[in-house]
Amino acid sequence: MQDKKEAFERSKRALAVKPSMGLKTSTSKVRVVDGYTCEVEEGRWKIIADLSEKVGGNGKGPDPSVLGRAAFGSCCAIGYMQWAAVLGIKLSSVEVVVESDYDHGGYYGTNDSTAGPREVRFKVTIQSDAPESEVIALIEKADKHSPLHDLFARAIPLKREIEIIRKTTDGP
């Protein structure tokens, strides 16, 4: 736990000295490789997203909604562990279950509902011998500083850029 706390504190000190170090742009590249199967790359990481066979996909990976819930849940779980280390609270286990409710009519255009989730709920289960008030305080602190908790909890600007490349043909 101490090495995790030291890593966190080292980054925090560096940002306090030079706040511009915290300003970053992350880029994920998504390429359709087969039907609906997408290869997602960012840095050294490569993952697959797809749709299930019953909706025309190849079933080669989780669908984007699964990845969204997984990203949110894992970001929260990591945050709880990180803040526990920083605050010196021992956690034996952490589990985050993320649920979302959809009306797929919005996705398929059969009604006017939104295509995205109507609601996202998450349940945090933590095993710890620390006082309940300390565990709740660390959960609240971690949620306050969680990038994906923030992303899911507030509307942020979404800017799209479109580039259309036309095939050129030689000859008539």
Q: Name the CATH superfamily for 63-156.
A: K homology (KH) domain (3.30.300.20)
Tens-place pLDDT, residues 70-106: 999 999 999 999 999 999 999 999 999 999 999 988 8
Tens-place pLDDT, residues 149-172: 999 998 899 899 999 999 887 666
DSSP 119-156: EEEEEEEEE-SS-HHHHHHHHHHHHHT-HHHHHHHS--
Contacts of 33 (CB under 8 A, 6+ apart): 39
Q: What is the pTM of this model?
A: 0.88
68 contacts 47 by C-beta, under 8 angstroms: no
Domain positions in the chain are 63-156
